[in-house]
């Protein structure tokens, strides 16, 4: 029987051994977590056993014989230890998450940026070929160059959009903001020229594969995570709700799955069940409604940020989005005899139900996509950054697509579109009027404010004297 060698697996012996039943088995090292672990117990697998082929193909872990008590005990202890480590680090991450949430928007943006970079590094690493990269010095450098260029473009767009009132009045930042897209394009083209110039005969396939893989990673990781940062700027509730929904949905899917799961959901993840999938959906909707009810009264969570120095102690002030204000709705005629003619609720709760539905029914397919990718490259995890959890990518595979959806949903159905904003006025005045016309706007605005009693006449006179002296 021919088999495919599994990359990274160490064989202790390929000679048949005789076990207690007198059958010849192939004796190999294996554990449920890492088939190549040299400290793992030896498990007897018959070549004719379907479980043997599943293990070679990387589809399943080998089944420990019931009569092998020492091995079974060792496996139980390893699973128990892994569960303890996983639980401890889960609690650590939750505590760290809330500390960041209360520390302010700037810290959250910094952590999301770090997650972007580490995830990009992990995704790029699984396709690398070290032997070839040693001969091409520009390969890794270009990967990181394209990452920096993409981050510069995306973050610049966000800063200009949300902080016009700061950027457009700064003499140094104004030219960079005015030509931001052109600068970003030229930076990208510089990397493109270097890539073409670095092409070497005999390595074309590898180099173009790396180029395509890098751009795929930039889109699936960096671009999607960028929308998560925009969610932070729009209000912490739009960051916290989607993120925590993904986390709790995963937990409820596990609990519901082990409690009454029977029907397999998808072959990529054999342990996922339809019952766990649906049960987690219901629980996530309940969780979303409860958390929204807690957060809505606090302006720190519902106000867009215009000052990156804000935190839970300084708070935020704004006119709340109408989505947070109660509205009265008329019920359909068939329901009126039972529930009454009308009911009052804030629209946010209807939006939460839709977001919870996406987090439960669509976002998990980001995780299934990552599972398929790992099977393609025959790896268990993207990395080992988080003990017991694998790499950052293993925890973020659903978060990126959820953050992307949340921002698009917010901009499409929730955002209060203002025809005129302070930043928009500044952008129009600075970009379209001459310096003399800008001065006239300032003087006219000062006269209006003085007439309304908002500023003193002495301020207007002072400005007139200063301008006349120029």
Q: What is the pLDDT of residue 387?
A: 66
- CB proximity list for 315: less than 8 A, separation 6 or greater: 299, 300
Q: Which letter does DSSP use for residue 386 in this model?
A: B
Residue given tokens 């200063």 in the structure block: 466
CA end-to-end distance (rounded Å), the chain: 93
How many other C-beta atoms are found inside a 10 Å radius of the C-beta of residue 6?
Answer: 14
Coil, strand or helix at 265: strand
Bridge partners of 344? Answer: 328
- CA dihedral over 327, 234, 386, 355, signed as positive or negative: positive
What pTM, to 2 d.p., does this model score? 0.73
pLDDT in tens, the chain (470 residues): 444 444 444 444 444 443 444 444 444 443 444 444 444 444 444 445 555 455 444 445 555 455 555 555 677 777 667 777 777 877 888 888 888 888 889 999 999 999 999 999 988 888 776 656 556 777 888 999 999 999 999 999 998 888 887 877 777 888 888 899 999 999 999 999 999 998 888 888 888 988 999 999 999 999 999 999 999 999 999 999 999 999 999 889 988 988 888 888 888 888 888 999 999 999 999 999 999 999 999 999 999 988 878 888 888 888 899 999 999 988 888 888 888 888 899 999 999 999 999 999 999 998 888 888 888 888 877 777 766 666 788 778 889 999 999 999 999 999 876 556 676 677 677 767 777 777 777 777 777 777 777 777 777 777 777 766 66
- CB proximity list for 110: less than 8 A, separation 6 or greater: none
Taking every pair of Cα atoms in the chain, the longest distance, rounded to a whole number of angstroms, is 107
Strands 42-45 and 269-273: unpaired
CA 21-23-25 angle, 5° bins: 120
Give the burial class of 312: count Cβ atoms within 10 A of its Cβ; 0-12 exposed, 13-18 middle, 19 or more buried: middle
Ordered by start, the domain boundaries in the chain are 17-82, 104-234+396-420, 235-363, 433-469
């Amino acid at each position: 029987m021919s088999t495919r060698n599994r990359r990274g697996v160490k064989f202790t012996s390929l000679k048949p051994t005789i076990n207690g039943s007198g059958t010849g088995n192939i004796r190999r090292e294996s554990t449920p977590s890492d088939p190549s672990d040299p400290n793992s117990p030896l498990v007897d697998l018959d070549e004719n056993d379907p479980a043997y082929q599943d293990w070679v193909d990387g589809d399943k872990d080998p089944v420990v014989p019931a009569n092998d008590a020492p091995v079974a005990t060792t496996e139980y202890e390893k699973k128990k230890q892994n569960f303890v480590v996983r639980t401890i680090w889960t609690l650590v991450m939750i505590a760290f998450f809330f500390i960041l949430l209360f520390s302010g928007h700037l810290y959250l943006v910094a952590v999301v940026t770090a997650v972007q970079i580490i995830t990009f590094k992990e995704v790029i690493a699984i396709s690398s070929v070290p032997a070839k990269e040693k001969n091409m010095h520009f390969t890794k450098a270009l990967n990181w160059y394209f990452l920096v260029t993409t981050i510069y473009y995306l973050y610049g767009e966000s800063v200009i959009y949300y902080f016009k009132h700061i950027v457009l009045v700064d003499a140094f930042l104004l030219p960079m903001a005015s030509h931001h897209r052109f600068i970003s394009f030229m930076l990208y083209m510089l990397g493109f020229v270097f890539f073409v110039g670095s092409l070497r005969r005999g390595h074309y396939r590898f180099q173009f594969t790396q180029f395509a893989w890098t751009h795929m990673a930039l889109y699936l990781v960096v671009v999607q995570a960028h929308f998560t940062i925009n969610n932070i700027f729009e209000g912490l509730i739009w960051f916290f709700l989607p993120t925590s929904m993904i986390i709790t949905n995963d937990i409820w899917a596990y609990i519901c799955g082990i409690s009454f799961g029977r029907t397999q959901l998808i072959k990529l993840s054999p342990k996922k069940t339809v019952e766990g999938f649906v049960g987690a959906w219901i629980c996530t909707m309940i969780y979303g409604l409860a958390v929204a009810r807690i957060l809505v009264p606090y302006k720190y969570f519902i106000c867009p940020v215009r000052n990156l120095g804000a935190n839970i102690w300084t708070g935020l002030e704004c006119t709340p989005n109408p989505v947070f204000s109660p509205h009265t709705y008329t019920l359909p005629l068939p329901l009126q005899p039972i529930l009454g003619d009308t009911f009052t609720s804030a629209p946010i709760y209807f939006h939460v139900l839709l977001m919870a539905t996406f987090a439960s029914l669509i976002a998990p397919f980001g995780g299934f996509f990552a599972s398929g990718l790992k099977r393609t490259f025959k790896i268990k995890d993207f990395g080992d950054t988080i003990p017991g959890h694998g790499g950052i990518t293993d925890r973020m595979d659903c978060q990126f697509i959820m953050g992307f959806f949340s921002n698009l949903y917010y901009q499409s159905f929730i955002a209060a579109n203002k025809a005129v904003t302070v930043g928009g006025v500044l952008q129009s005045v600075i970009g379209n009027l001459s310096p003399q016309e800008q001065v006239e706007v300032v003087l006219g605005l000062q006269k209006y404010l003085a007439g309304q009693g908002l500023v003193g006449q002495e301020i207007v006179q002072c400005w007139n004297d200063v301008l006349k002296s120029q």
